[in-house]
Chain A
Amino acid sequence: MSKVLWAITILILSTVCVGVVVFMPLAELGLLNSPNSVPLESSTWLQFTGIQNLVKFGRISLLTLTHGMQESPNFQYYAYFFFLGIALMLASVALIVIGHEEPQEKTVLPRKK
């Protein structure tokens, strides 16, 4: 793989990984259960609507994936582990891509004296 392609792949994987990790605290706070409960004070550090849209996106994605699992009282914790799992998966893929570049282990036979 060329160096540029390699760097782009790692960059994309890392960005998506960090992006997915953002959903973990949102899930834990229960915001994916009810996107309308995003606290208004959040506008002080990020646009309130931005977070709300993110939360809605996460909720719709999970709703599509799980066919209504959101009704469970423990949904927020399952969602947290789900995003943790996705982040770990992406991190592993990134590590494998990086590891690909390292030289393969070679069998070296000693020279007989």
Chain B
Amino acid sequence: MYTQPLNKVTLALEQWINAVVTSKYNPLYYHGALPQFFLWVLFLSGLLLFAYYVPTIDNAYSAEKLINAYTTVEYITHIPFGATIRGIHRYAGDAMVIAILLHMLRVWFTDRYRQYRIVQWLSGIVLLLLVLFIGQTGYYLVWDERSLALTRMTAKSFDVLPIIGEPLKWWFLNGQEITNYTLSNFLFIHIGLSFSLLFGLWIHYVRMQRPVLTPPPVIQFMLFALLSILLLWYPVTSGSMATLTQQPTAFEVDWFFLWPYWLMTQMNLQAYWLTIVTGVIVLCMLPYFVHTKEVEAAEVVTKKCTGCSLCSRDCPYAAIEMVPAPAGSRFKLLATVKSYRCSGCGVCVGACAFDAIDLPNLLDTDLTAKITASAKG
């Protein structure tokens, strides 16, 4: 398989990190939990920023006594620790995108995204798209020249979409043009969609027996330390205040979130949407392009099963359900395999002390030898 060499590289890296920090603190074993950690950092820092943010574009720069979105961002930047919290919020967002991409790559290299994992793969793509859009709305909220340029570029890009373009633009601007309502809509999208990530994450985890939601404290310390240290070299800045009568021509691009805007400048808008939609479809279809053998689900030997539930507790994909044993059985429960969830991983075979669960075409002794070998490796 073409991902095998890449998989070997990640396994070698894994072993090297294990040798240095032991398997307990190897971040590669928590790759799914890393974006989640940054999400908590974003929620907490975002909550602090939200306390000072007023979403209006009125009474801009010269109206010193009146608060507006720009002056509130300015205000946040100048109160004690305001700039640092802003920086933590910004860089935690960037770090989250990096963590998601690494998570995706690792899942892809280790071949854990097909068949029984298709729901995780698809929900992961939706979550990534949501995170990108939420990050972009964060850039609109600053309401500097870049925010104005991004808002206009987005609204203009909707113009070329047939049927849904007009309503989308109306929804995005919260009206026909940029007004105070536009910024309150951006704030709503930024915060509301952030909370909807939790629902998306629930779907992402629902088929997993024991999802790892938080990395160990050591990794959390390290990640937060990196963000804190980075701030000293790269303090966050804003451009000049947005003025609706002017059209900003150039702005700094954050490549983690704003790359679609760069793409927009490289082609016409129809081609832009075509590229984005094709990219998303290809990403979603990736699992179907790779031909693999159909998985054969584990089978319970009914006569031997004592209903101890060990296999059900160990199955990583929640594929084993304990049901009441049939009448006449000496035991209370019986294990049953939900074949559509089974990955054929063999964990249950190793877990069962009664030889009561098997994988078709794989002898119990062979499997035990395999597990022993990989545990030693």
Contacts and interface: CB of A to CB of B under 8 A. Distances in A.
B217 A95 contact: yes
B353 A78 contact: no
Contact of B232 (A65, A100, A113): A65
B327 interface: no
Interface of B is mostly: helix
A99 B375 contact: no
B198 interface: no
Contacts of B162: none
B218 A85 contact: no
B231 interface: yes
Nearest to B226: A85
B371 interface: yes
Contacts of A3: none
B232 A66 contact: yes
Interface string B228-247: 11011101000000000000
Contact of B84 (A77, A88, A100): A77
Given A77-B82, A78-B231, 4 more contacts: A82-B228, A82-B232, A88-B225, A109-B368
B231 A82 contact: yes
A91 B221 contact: yes
A107 B225 contact: no
A66 B234 CA distance: 10
Closest 3 pairs (CB-CB, A-B): A85-B228, A107-B375, A88-B225
Interface of B: 21-25, 77-78, 80-84, 87-88, 217-219, 221-222, 224-229, 231-233, 235, 310, 350-355, 364, 368, 371-372, 375
Given A82-B228, A96-B22, A74 B353 contact: no
B232 A62 contact: yes
B309 to A, nearest CB: 13
A80 to B, nearest CB: 7
Contact of A77 (B24, B83, B353, B375): B83
Contacts of B88: 81
A85 B354 contact: no
A72 B221 contact: no
Contact of B371 (A74, A85, A107, A111): A107
A100 B222 contact: no
Interface in A77-108: 77-82, 84-89, 91-92, 95-96, 99-100, 102, 104-107
